[in-house]
Structure formats: structure tokens, C-alpha cells
Amino acid sequence: MSRWDELLHERLAALAARGQRRFPRAAALRPGGRLLRGGREAVDFSSNDYLGLALHPLLAERAADYAARLGAGSGASRLVTGTGEAHLALEARVAALKGAEAALVLASGWQANAALVPALVKAVPGAAVFTDRLVHASIHHGCAAAGVREIRFRHNNPAHLDALLARHADAPARIVLTESVFSMDGDRADVAALGALAGRHDALLVVDEAHATGVLGPGGAGLTHGIAGVDIAMGTFSKALGGFGGYLACSAVMRDWLVNAAGGFVFSTALPPAVLGAADAALELVPQMDAERTHLEALGERLRGGLARLGIDSGGSTTQIVPAIVGAEEDALRLSALLEERGMVAAAIRPPTVPPGTSRLRIALRAGHSHGDVDDLIAALEAAR
């Protein structure tokens, strides 16, 4: 065992002692909101495949068609020879969905966020960057990569942001970053209020729509669609859209700048044809899925009502993401294990992903779930308490 192995063994043991060590476990999605793990099928309350598109035959068929016609890989980065007609067509389709002038497709949602902030700060050195305290880790990573100190505003608090923007009025530019649906809490930002604030303070507003795209807004277009003051909407194909990859929807001139300045775009191999095919099929299907969106909304209301009856805090959730906040790491792990014994998968989320003292089961509802599935989950939680 090397010195590094010894050191890492100690660090891993410390994580385990705090109930924070993590292990990847093999699993496979199954229809009807189910999951296969360890040879057993379970009701899946942890995957982000909100609309069930990951197993939709049209996505698989189009992915196979693109791969058969265009090959397994793209061959290069987008600025060398990696841009194909399929990339450009997908970007046009994303822009149309989001109501934007243009869009840029990147390898993942993480990469989109991580590459965006450095590119923006490169355009205006010294820009002040304001972030909601609960934004995704990829946004924090992007800020760190840009070398900026985040000015954090209280979660979903436009009044606090207003005061901070006024306090930093002398900055050469101001950038506000938030999410429309927060991934661990399932609550929504007041995007219209933030857009109005950004307009009043001449700030650039960036909204991460990873968990809203496909599920919320007109035709699944997200919560930024049609809202004045939103300059950039980021999203992914890996959640409700059932595939992989990320995008930034923005103005045409912003896209041109990102093509030239976003390192995650410039230096990464382009997405492969099969991934593009699946994304194209998902964007064709999503506008037609109002029934699934309505069903998801009803499931969320049913689950929040059940948790409230049990005295379990679901925070400010109003979406398909419903946290069951229990506090201590060991309590979240215990509940997750007990549910798995009953044939349900609900991942325990612990610090540093969430603040200390707010460990939880992050329950992700899917269109394949029934009201009976939700009732069974509530009953299992009641029995486990």
C-alpha cells in the first residue's frame, strides 16, 4: 500500500464515521417507474427520468438510426471537424423550445455551468457574480474556475439580491446565477421577479433549468420561457429528456462568444451521433406530454400531503422533487435502507450535498408512478418511523 493509499484509506474511514461515504451500485431502469438492482425490481424514487423517456422506443430508435448513419463518435471537437448538421439542427430545436435566438449544445449540464462563468468573466474582467446559496455544485465550480468570489444571496430571496446588486453598483458588470427548480429541495425560483431585478440593475441573469425543462412551463419549455430579463437558460438532456448532454439557450451574439470563449466547448470532443438522435427524439415528444406533466403534479401534491400528515418536512417543494427531510445522516441512511427492504429506492442525500442537519430522502417522482406507488411509499415511511 502506497503512502497515498494509506492516506486515502484514513480519509474514507473518516467519511464512513460521519455517515458520508458513498458507493456506486449497479442498477438498470425498468418501465413503470421501476428499477432493477441486485437482481430485485424496486419502485424507483431516485432517478431523474421524470417523463419516462429514457426507455421510450422513439429515443432508442433514433439513437440507433443516427449511429448507423453517422457512426459511433464525432471525431473531434466542435471547432475542428466535430460539428455535424445534426448538432446544428439540435441547437435550432433547443432554441425553438426555449424561445431563444440561439442555443449551444455541450457534453453535459455540469460542463455547461462550469464553462459558462469563466467565459462570461473573460468578457468582462472584474464582473461581480451573485449566486443563490443553494445553486448546483457545477455553478460553484464554474465560479471557482473563473477565479471570482461569489456574492451569495439568501435562497429564493429577491429582496436580498436587490440589496446586494445595489451595493455592488460600481462593478463593471453583474451576473446573477440561480436555478428555476432546485435539485435537492424541489422548490421554484420566482423567475419573473429575478428577471425584473436583472433588468432594473442591468445585470445578466442565468437560470439553470435542468430540473424544469420537459416538466414545467408551456409544452415543457421550462420556467424561463417568455420571461423578460432572462439572458441565458441552461438545461440538460439527461433528466426529463431521458438522454445525455447539456445546452445553453441565449442570444445569437452570446452563443458566438461562448463558441470562442467557453473552454468546455472549445476543448471537448463533440457529442456523438447516438446522443444527438435521442435528444432530437425527446424534443419531438416533450411538447405533446401535457398528460404526463399533469400526472406528475398530482403525484407531488399527494406525496407532500402524506409527508405532512406524518410530520415529515418537505421544505418548499412544489414540483416532482419532494425531499423528506429527517436531519441526521444516520436517520436518512436508515430510512433509505428500510425502504429498500420494502422494494423501494429512495436515495439518502447527506452533507456536503445538502447543508448540515438537513439530510434527507430526495424523492424524485416519475410519470410512470401511480397514486398507489405514492401511497405505498407514505405507508412505508410511516411504518419505519
Domain harbouring 142, CATH code: 3.40.640.10
- 213 and 150 within one domain: yes
pLDDT (0 to 100) of residue 330:
92
The answer to whether 62 and 280 are in contact (CB under 8 A) is yes
Residues sharing a CB contact under 8 Å with residue 252, sequence separation 6 or more, in sequence order: 101, 102
Tell me which of 287, 318, 350 is where a domain ends: 287
State the pTM of this model. Answer: 0.94
Same domain, 103 and 228: yes
Helices vs. strands in the chain: H and E counts, helices first: 13, 14
CATH of the domain at 355: 3.90.1150.10
Cell 410512470 -> residue: 368
What's the one-letter identity of residue 215? V
User: 371-384 and 290-310 helices cross at what angle (nearest 10)?
Assistant: 20
CA 83 to chain centre: 25
Q: Which residue ranges in the chain fall short of pLDDT 50?
A: none
Q: If you compute the radius of gyration of the chain from its CA atoms, what whole number of angstroms results?
A: 21
Q: Does 174 lie in the same domain as 240?
A: yes
In-domain check, residue 308:
yes
- Burial of residue 384, with CB atoms counted within 10 A of its CB: 0-12 exposed, 13-18 middle, 19 or more buried: middle
Beta bridge partners of 321: 364
Is residue 218 domain-shared with residue 234, that is, in the same domain? yes
Cα 12 to chain centroid, rounded = 27
Helix axes 273-285, 85-98, angle to 10 degrees: 30
Express as a percent the part of the chain with pLDDT over 90.
Answer: 95
Question: Residue 358: its pLDDT value, please?
Answer: 95
Judge whether 18 lies within some domain: no
Domain that holds residue 124: 57-287
Q: CA-CA distance, 264 to 322, in Å (whole number)?
A: 32
According to the model, what pLDDT value does residue 18 have?
Answer: 86
* Contact (CB, 8 A) for 202 and 174: yes
Helix (H, G, I), strand (E, B) or coil at 168: coil
- Greatest alpha-carbon pair distance for the chain in Å reads 60
So which residues are the catalytic ones?
48, 136, 179, 183, 208, 211, 239
Strands (E), 133-231: 151-153, 174-179, 204-208
- Measured CA to CA, the distance from residue 140 to residue 145 in angstroms comes to 9
Residues 296 and 275 in one domain: no
Residue 22: predicted pLDDT? 86
Please give the tally of structural domains in the chain.
Answer: 2
Does one domain contain both 271 and 308? Answer: no
**What is the rounded CA–CA span in Å between residue 55 and residue 53?**
5
Please state, in angstroms and rounded to a whole number, the distance separating the CA atoms of residues 348 and 22. Answer: 10
